[in-house]
Structure 1
């Protein structure tokens, strides 16, 4: 039997699954729009042939997704 995981924002039960993307996922501390992500901190690298899936939890109540990178 698995433990029930609750959302850190709204305390709703979250769904466990995976995130994936054919493109990289980057981080920025600025909300400004950018034209290219060169020089940004890359959390998840580009996929070449096969996309890796990263374990994540998702709250459908407040649309929060949480995952560990690296």
Structure 2
């Protein structure tokens, strides 16, 4: 991951790093609150034994994170 990625909002250079979570990360097209995440698309699965890290870029100015999943 050596490519320079520019922020789509401000064009600043993104900072290279990794995103991770011991819990799954899901996607929903609705802003409504939910009680459980059943039925939503899982982008990153729950960690079982080890927490996987996904390569990502972030803009420290806009607080935007860009990462590829799957």
TM-score, length-scaled by structure 1: 0.92
Question: CA separation in 2, counterparts of 1:69 and 1:37?
Answer: 18
Distance apart, 1:18 and its partner CA: 0.2
Tell me what 1:5 maps to: 5
Runs (5+) with no aligned partner, structure 1: none
Q: Which runs of 4+ in 1 moved over 3 A?
A: none
TM-score, length-scaled by structure 2: 0.92
- Name the SS of the counterpart of 2:39 in structure 1: coil
Alignment: residue pair count: 69
Tell me what 1:26 maps to: 26
Question: CA separation in 2, counterparts of 1:20 and 1:57?
Answer: 13
Question: CA separation in 2, counterparts of 1:38 and 1:3?
Answer: 35
Q: What per-residue deviation string (whole Å, max 9, x for no partner) do you get for residues 2-29 of structure 1? A: 5543211111111000000000000000
Runs (5+) with no aligned partner, structure 2: none
